Chains A and B, each alone.
Chain A
Amino acid sequence: MSAPTLKTPSNPTTTAAPAARKRSTRQNKSMAERLIAPLFLAPTVIGMAIFTIVPILASVLLAFFRWDIISAPEFVGFSNFADIVSDPTVRVSFLNTIVFVIVAVTLQLGIAMVLAVAIQGRMPNWLRVFFRSAFFFPLILSAASVSIFMGYLFNEQFGVVNWMLSVVGVPAVPWLTTSGGAAAVVVLVYVWQNFGFSFLLFVGGLASIPKELHEASALDGATGWRQFVNVTLPLLSPTVLVASVMAIISALQVFDQPYVLTRGGPGDSTRTAVMVIFESAFQQLEFGRASAIGLVLMMLIMAITALQFRLSRRFVFYQ
Chain B
Amino acid sequence: MTSTQSSGQGNSTLARAGDLSRRTLLGALGIGAVGATVGAWPRLTGADIPGRNSTALNVAILGTSADAAARQALVDEFTSLHPDIPVRIQAIQGADWRDFFSKILTMVAAGNPPDVVYVATEGAQLFAKKLAEPLDPYLTRDAADIQEYFQDVHPSLIEAFMYRGSLYQLPLDWNAANMYLNTSALQRAGLDRPADDWTNEDFTAVMRAMKSTTDGSFTPYYWTNRLFGGVVPWLYANDTSFLAEEKATGGDWFWDRFYSKDPTRSLRSGGYLWETPNAEDPRVIETFDYLRELVAEGLGVRPEGGGGNALVGLFASSRIGATPAGGYWVQGLHEAGMGADDFDVQFFPRWRTQRHQFGAAGYAIMRTAKDKDAAWEWVKFCASKPAMELAFPTPNTTPTRRSMVNQSLYASTGPEHWKVFYDTLDRFPTSGPIPAPPQQAAVETALMKNVSVAVSGSSAQVRSAMGSLQRDLELALRSNQ
Contacts and interface: CB of A to CB of B under 8 A. Distances in A.
Interface stretch (B262-270, B297-305, B336-344): B297-305
B314 A158 contact: yes
Interface in A136-187: 151-152, 155-158, 166, 172, 174, 176-178
B306 interface: yes
Contacts of A285: 105, 441, 479-481
A166 B216 contact: yes
Contacts of B222: 157
A interface, size bucket: 35 or more
Contacts of B448: 263, 265
B475 interface: yes
Given A266-B449, A268-B449, A32 B302 contact: no
Contacts of A29: 15, 19
Contacts of A151: 304
Interface in B431-480: 439, 441-442, 445, 448-450, 452-453, 456, 465, 468, 472, 475-476, 479-480
B480 A152 contact: no
Nearest to A282: B102
Given A176-B304, A266-B449, A87 B475 contact: yes
A265 B216 contact: no
Interface hub of A29, A36, A263 (most chain B Cβ within 10 A): A263
B52 interface: no
A254 B455 CA distance: 27
A120 to B, nearest CB: 42
Interface stretch (A66-74, A124-132, A197-205): A66-74
B480 A286 contact: yes
A261 B19 CA distance: 60
Nearest to B309: A148
Contacts of A35: 26
A25 interface: yes
A28 interface: yes
Interface in A1-54: 25, 28-29, 32, 35-36, 39
Nearest to A68: B480
Interface string A256-273: 000000111111100100
A284 interface: yes
B304 A177 contact: yes
Contacts of A155: 304, 310
Given A283-B441, A284-B479, 11 more contacts: A32-B19, A68-B480, A70-B105, A87-B475, A156-B301, A263-B448, A264-B445, A265-B449, A267-B449, A267-B468, A271-B449
5 contacts: A25-B19, A66-B480, A155-B304, A172-B216, A267-B450
Interface of B: 15, 19, 22-23, 26, 29, 98, 102, 105-106, 108-109, 130-131, 216-217, 219, 222, 225, 301-306, 310, 314, 319, 439, 441-442, 445, 448-450, 452-453, 456, 465, 468, 472, 475-476, 479-481
Interface of A: 25, 28-29, 32, 35-36, 39, 66, 68-71, 87, 89, 151-152, 155-158, 166, 172, 174, 176-178, 262-268, 271, 279, 282-286
